[in-house]
Chain A
Amino acid sequence: MSQDIKKQTQNLKSFFKKKILSITNEKSEITVTFDQKNIIPALKSLRDKPEFNFKQLIDLCGVDYQEYKFAALDGKRFCVVYHLLSLKNNTRLRVKVFADDDEFPLFPTSTTIWPNADWYEREAFDLFGLMFVDHPDLRRLLTDYGFVGHPFRKDFPMIGKVEVRYDPTLKRVIYEPVSIEERNNVPRLIRDEGIHRG
């Protein structure tokens, strides 16, 4: 297995050369980072070149690195993570790309490469507000009709911003600012020594 990982890393390095911003091998999982302008051609060759043959997009998700203690990539905030699977070579690969602009994160769409990226990108747009340029149908997917904001961003409160109730006088369901308070029983702690000892 480790031999395969080494070979795969070598293949990636020799094919993409300087286009790779970083390549890491952690727990037998390879992560490659590309930058915005190279990502689409890179994904295309990852799908089509026989030595990679990543015909299946297993997962695509957004990540918000705003509160991440270790600056992700030059402190950029939004990231899209692709998980690829090659059935022929029996290999997996993780590809990352960061948005250049934190205020208005733009990403090129990968729907032309894998058709199932359509819904994944809609989901990432819905939950993180990532804009996929040239996506054929970038609508919200999981949240309510008329929802405001992007709930999985780190600055979005866990309890949400509005609540709904039925108003008997207006005879319809109305939206109001939330009345509950956020409750956190276990503080978030980061210990420097890694695995918590004691």
Chain B
Amino acid sequence: MREFIVAEIKNYTMNFGPQHPAAHGVLRLVLEMDGEVIQRVDPHIGLLHRATEKLAENRTYLQSVPYMDRLDYVSMMMNEHAYVMTIEKLLKINVPIRAQYIRVMFDEITRILNHLLWLGAHALDVGAMTVFLYAFREREDLFDCYEAVSGARMHAAYYRPGGVYRDLPTKMPQFEASKTKSASEIKKLNKNRTGSLLDFIEDFSNRFPANVDEYETLLTDNRIWKQRTVGIGVVDPDRAIALGLTGPMLRGSGVEWDLRKKQPYETYNEFNFKIPIGKEGDCYDRYLVRMEEMRESNKIIKQCIDWLRTNPGPVISSDNKVTPPSRTEMKEDMESMIHHFKLFTEGFHIPKGEAYAAVEHPKGEFGTYIISDGANKPYRLKIRAPGFPHLAAINEMTKGHMLSDLVAIIGTQDIVFGEIDR
């Protein structure tokens, strides 16, 4: 009887977050602990709930595109991609081939962007500071690509139903001299910005494999890193499928599943790339999978650059019932004027029906499900966020682990609250 009482005192409840630096945003966990061993994790989410799906029901289809950027705010364009793909499916419109290549290229840029943030944050959580700084150095270049093409560093709203907003710029924006930077310094900064955006991305993709090697020298054989990740948060393949894990979380467990290969969308079946998979299903394997994915993404980017250099063409569908006419056309042609006015006031209508389209998001399967009743606004929009089932699985993944391993598991799940809470 006495023993029982002692055991009861040993178990206690602890609150983790919502303002914890390792909580990746606004995650609140209620932990049931036995000493330092986790017995149960109860995530309290919704602190970033903005009801994106409800808001979208009250806006035209086009007005909701920027909301998609703000879902998973570290892989912005991929969210837009799933959304515009669903609309294109419902409208049965064709996307010009050049736009498809641009989308693939920016999808892969986004994947690298996401994995770099994940890598930096994960390493930082586990105790390695330098990786974060290295990762952000490369992220900066990719943000410049975003900015050059859309005008915004993060929330691009670049993908539109029917294509992309505009063609790639032929001139990369350059740094200008200022009080704090001398002319020679500016010249050095502008060295790889003298050509077009494609030249800049090519320069990046030539540099990037060496950068990944650099990150790997810091972590892959690092004893502390291995002690913190090997054998932590193991998920076996069958369980990973049952828990609804997708993306690197599933591939880390050794399940070969990638929508880019299995259900190719856009022009993914024309690229030469491999799907890395793990073996053990622990945090270390998922780390290796994501590192390899960055290298594969870089290969896809290179292939896109080669294609885009030699194949000019339209980047957005010419169906003016869905896409706006050009500014010059709009000013000269009466019908174009009407199209423009109607598109930006009333918006386009989608025939009655429903569709689901998904992309291989850096975190897993990101899909949108739209039910339309023929109006200019969706009747119901459901966003399938990959992080949602991942976080739901955290209880199972952390059971029996130490408190410090929880942080490694949150890191490996690549949690972003914008998409989980929506």
Contacts and interface: CB of A to CB of B under 8 A. Distances in A.
Interface of A: 26-27, 29, 31, 55-59, 61, 63-64, 67-70, 81, 83, 87, 90, 92, 94, 114-116, 118-120, 140-144, 151-152, 158, 184, 186, 188-192, 194-198
B375 A186 contact: no
13 contacts: A59-B356, A59-B369, A83-B369, A90-B262, A94-B354, A116-B389, A116-B392, A151-B51, A152-B51, A152-B53, A186-B346, A189-B346, A189-B376
Given A26-B355, A189-B349, A196 B54 contact: no
The 6 closest A-B pairs by CB, nearest first: A116-B244, A142-B46, A196-B349, A194-B351, A119-B392, A59-B384
Given A195-B348, A195-B351, A151 B373 contact: no
Nearest to B348: A196
A81 B91 CA distance: 22
Contacts of B238: 55
B43 to A, nearest CB: 9
Interface string B309-352: 00000000000011000000000000000100010011111111
Contacts of B108: none
What's the dominant secondary structure at chain A's contact region? Answer: loop
Given A90-B262, A119-B389, A142-B46, A196 B346 contact: yes
Interface stretch (B55-63, B184-192, B267-275, B277-285): B55-63
B255 interface: yes
Nearest to A193: B349
A61 to B, nearest CB: 4
B376 A186 contact: yes
| Residue with the highest number of chain B CB atoms closer than 10 Å, among A26, A59, A120 | A59
B243 A115 contact: yes
Contacts of A83: 356, 367, 369, 384
Interface in B43-90: 45-46, 49, 51, 53-55, 58-60, 63, 89-90
Nearest to B91: A195
Given A27-B355, A194-B349, A158 B54 contact: yes
Interface size class of B (residues with CB under 8 A): 35 or more
Contacts of B396: 115
A29 B356 contact: yes
B379 interface: yes
Contacts of B55: 158
B356 A94 contact: yes
A186 B347 contact: yes
B377 interface: yes
A37 to B, nearest CB: 25
A58 B259 CA distance: 13
B17 to A, nearest CB: 15
B388 interface: yes
Nearest to A57: B244
Nearest to B51: A151
Interface centre among B90, B377, B389 (most CB of A within 10 A): B389
A69 B243 contact: no
Nearest to B262: A90
Interface string B158-183: 00000000000000000000000000
Contacts of B135: none
B367 A58 contact: yes
Most buried by B among A69, A189, A195, A197: A195
